[in-house]
Each structure stands twice: as C-alpha cells, then as structure tokens.
Structure 1
Amino acid sequence: MALAKQTMTDEQRKSVALEYLKAFDNGGVTSDGGSILDLFSTDAQVYFPKWGIANGHEEIGKLFGDVGGPLKSIRHDYATFNWIFSGSDTIVAEGTSYGEHRDGPWRAGVPDSGAGRWCDVFEIRDWKITRVFIYLDPDYAGQDTARYTWLGEK
C-alpha cells in the first residue's frame, strides 16, 4: 500500500465514491469516459457477497464482469443516500437502487424484503479507492425462495 501523499476532505472522498456509483449506472464508464477501474488504486480490494474479495485491477475487473454481466440496467437513488464520515480515509454510503437483472426487475422496497438496499464501506486515499466492501442481497430478482421459504409465502 502506498503512503498517503495528500490529505483529502470528506467531501472529496464522497465525490470519488459518487463517481464510482455513477460509473456503475453508466455501464462501468466514468464521467470523463474512462473505466471504472481507473478509480481504484492498483492494490485495491473489493468485496461482494457470494463472490468474495477481489485484489487488484485484474480481479476487480473479473468481479465487476461477473456481477454486472447479468444486469440489464441499474440506477442508484442518489437523493436518498446516507453518508457516514469517520474523519479518516473511511466513508460509508447507504442507499437504494433499482433496475433489471436477467431474472427480472427489482426496486428497493418492492417488496419490502427484496433487493435494492445496500451499504458500501469505502477507503479512499489520494483520489483512489483502496478498498470498498459492498453489502447487499445479490438475489436481485428475489428468486431464492427455495432456501428462504418465508419469501414464497408473501
């Protein structure tokens, strides 16, 4: 891990996290036309449920391809985000999303137990994401009813 070269404010870290989320909504392309991977340090880590931890650009690219491949579209509800700032390199974003998975559409709150609510824990230094752990239900279309019988009862 590289030593910090400059101090960032919480708002600057938030701007990097927002650029990352907006790039997801834009098929992995940032606002300046670059790759979402450009937002990460070369030794970054990303965690996604049911996938595990990806280390470095190559593994992160594989994770994003695996996770994003079945998505036809995704949109984050930016106006309703909750941000938590730690006063260090760590910030937390909690929010909702909606879109369409190959197995069907989803929207946070429809049903209330369904996918679309998420929480991301970021570490951002020197304008690069060094770590993001993503916490959400990856069963976007709510089809995992065999293992969670109460879902089929609703």
Structure 2
Amino acid sequence: MALTTQTMTDEQRKSVALEYLKAFDNGGVTSTGGAILDLFAEDAQVYFPKWGLATGRAEIGKLFGDVGATLRSIRHDYASFNWIFSGSDTLVAEGTSHGEHQDGAWRAGVPEWGAGRWCDVFEIRDWKIQRVFIYLDPDYAGRDTARYPWLAGTSTKD
C-alpha cells in the first residue's frame, strides 16, 4: 500500500464515491470516459455479497464483470443518499437503486422486503478508492423466498 501523500476533504472523498456510483450506472464508464477501475488503487479491495472479496484491479474487474453480466440496467437514486463521514479516509453511503436484473426488474420498496436498498463503506485516499465493501441483497428479482418462512408464498408483486 502506498503512503498517503494528499490530504482530502470529506466532500472530495464523496465526489470520488459519486463518480464510482455514476460510472456503475453508465456501464463502467466514468464522466471523463475512463474505466471505473481507474478510480481504484492498484491494491484496492472490494467485497460483494455472494461473490466475496476481490483484491487488486484484476480481481475487482472480474467481480464487476461477473455481477455486471447479470444486470441489464441499474440506476442509483442520488437524491435520497445518506452520507456518513468519519473524519478520516472512511465514508459511508446509504441509498436505494432500481433497474433490471437478468431475473427481472427491481425497485427499492417494491415490495418493501425486496432488493434495492444498499450501503457502501468506502475508504478513499489520494483520489483513489482503497476499499469499498458493498452491503445489499444480491437477489435483485426477489426470487429467493422459499428459504425464509416470513416470505414463503410471496412474490415480488406482493
């Protein structure tokens, strides 16, 4: 891991996190036309539920490729984000999303128990994402209901 050389403000870290989320919505392309992986440090880590921990840009690219291949579209609801700043390199973004997965469409709150709510914990230093741990339900289409007694017999239309 490289030594810290630039001091960043919370708002600057937030701008990097927003660029990452918007690039995800834009098929992995940043606002400047670069690749989403350019936002990451060489030795960065990303965690995604049911995939695991990816370390380094090559593994992160594989994770994003695997997850992205299951999504037809995604849109984060930027106006409703909740940002939590730690006063250090760490910040948390909580929000909602909607889109279409290979198994069907999703929208946060439809149904209330379904996918679409998420929380990302970022560590951003020197204008690069060092770490992002993504917490969400990867069952976007809400098909995994039989294993949960409180959801058995429901559908995403409930």
Partner of 1:142: 142
**Aligned match of 1:107:** 107
Take 1:104 and 1:21, find their aligned partners in 2: how far apart are those partners?
Answer: 21
What corresponds to 1:79 in structure 2? Answer: 79
2:131 partner amino acid = R
> What is the percent sequence identity of the aligned residues?
83
Report matched runs for 1:1-154 at 5 Å: 1-154=1-154
Counterpart AA for 2:78: Y
Q: CA deviation at 1:145?
A: 1.5
Deviation string for 1:11-68 (max 9, x for gaps)? 0000000000000000000000010000000000000001110000000000001111
Per-residue deviation at 1:152? 3.2
Deviation at 1:2, TM superposition (A): 0.6
CA deviation map 1:84-129 (0-9, x unaligned): 0000000000000000001000000000000000000000000000
Segments of 5+ residues of structure 2 without an aligned counterpart are none
Q: Distance in 1 between matches of 2:143 and 2:15?
A: 34
Gaps of 5+ in 1: none
TM-score (normalised: structure 1): 0.98
C-alpha contact (below 8 Å) 2:46/2:131 kept by paired residues: yes
Distance 2:152 2:67 in 1: 25
For residues 104 and 149 of structure 1, the distance between their equivalents in structure 2, rounded to whole angstroms, comes to 22
Aligned counterparts of 1:92 and 1:150: Cα–Cα separation in 2? 30
Tell me by how many angstroms 1:82 deviates: 0.2
Q: Which amino acid aligns with 1:147?
A: R
- Helix, strand or coil at the partner of 1:5: coil
- Residue identity opposite 2:151 in structure 1: L
What is the alpha-carbon distance in structure 2 between the residues aligned to residue 99 and residue 117 of structure 1? 12
| Alignment-mate amino acid for residue 109 of structure 1 | G
Alignment length, in residue pairs? 154
Q: Does the CA-based 8 Å contact 2:146-2:153 persist in structure 1?
A: no
